[in-house]
Amino acid sequence: MLYLYTPDQPELYSRLLQEALPGEAIACWPQEVDTAAVTHAAVWAPPAGFFSRFPNLRTVFVMGAGVDKLLQRNEVPQDVALVRLTDAGMAQQMTEYCLIGLLRYQRQMDRYAQQQRDRQWKPLDTQLARDVRVGLLGLGELGGRVAQDLVRLGYRVSGWSLRPRWVENVRCLHGEAGLRELLPQTDVLCCVLPSTPETRRLLDAETLALLPDNAALINAGRGSLIDETALLERLDAGRLRFALLDVFAEEPLPESHPFWTHSHVIITPHVAADTVPEEAARQIAANLRAQAAGRPMTGVVDRRRGY
């Protein structure tokens, strides 16, 4: 049996999964079931202790790309496979989100907004896409797609990952040396990395200082990637033009946080890339069929790496 837990649109997900898996027994929380019959779960933000009720659980499908919060919980046995969504309609949304910040920088909309407040009519020099050096942190399923999308739009894209990767028409760097090479050559830094022990506080005071003066920062990955105090200090010092932030160390962002009122920070409430229900159901169904046939599933999480 597949047991579904999602606070948002449970009826829609239940219908889509039943249509994609007509022969599968599917139940949706808070429906009462024989817990011993549950072998698979599809979840988003389940409550503490949720998995402990299912002694025969084999696979957990995470209805999103991030699995860091589940990996921090000890109630999912090591022999239970964790499977994340790969893309599921999120890559295009992530590209669009990065473009919001890129165009704000390239077309100098932040400066024109200040000129409007000052009632100042002053055309600025034209910048073309090819004039903007984009640094992209994260070259996995989502990041690789975003990098290629931005290249097709004419941007000069360099990408970084923890380990070597290859993306067509993208300059790819990796490791500590690669990060130190990338940052000084970046006008707009886009972060789409997951949260892992290796990426937490990757952008601290030391690494943020490697960015050129007046660079911009976009974070659509995870809030733990950035030392928020160090970011604020750099913004206050006028060393960064602006930061577009979708994710934070604490969510929802506390009302007292200085990001809310900072003139060079744009906040969105973790909406850069939402799961598309139809694509999520398709991937879960395909993985269930693959597992039943003894074929490898896509998106299986390596717990050691955290993604």
Annotated active-site residue 156? The verdict is: no
Catalytic residue among 174, 270, 289, 303: 270
> Is the four-CA dihedral 203, 204, 209, 215 of positive or negative sign?
positive
CB 98 within 8 A of CB 78: no
Annotated active-site residue 264? The verdict is: no
Q: Decide: residue 161, CB within 10 A, 0-12 exposed, 13-18 middle, 19+ buried.
A: buried
Question: 141-152 and 90-106 are packed helices; what angle lies between their axes, rounded to 10 degrees?
Answer: 50
Catalytic residue among 156, 200, 222, 234: 222
Cα separations in angstroms, 251 against 7, 73, 223, 270, 303: 17, 18, 9, 9, 24
Concatenating the DSSP letter of every residue in the chain gives: -EEEE-SS-HHHHHHHHHHH-TTS-EEETT----GGG--EEEESSPPTTSGGG-TT--EEEESSS--HHHHT-S-S-TTSEEEE-S-TTHHHHHHHHHHHHHHHHHTTHHHHHHHHHTT---PPPP--GGG-EEEEE--SHHHHHHHHHHHHTT-EEEEEESS----TTSEEEEHHHHHHHHGGG-SEEEE-PPP-TTTTT-B-HHHHTTSPTTEEEEE-S-GGGB-HHHHHHHHHTT-EEEEEES--SSSSPPTT-GGGG-TTEEE--S-SS---HHHHHHHHHHHHHHHHTTPPPSSB--TTTT-
Q: Which residues are catalytic?
A: 222, 270
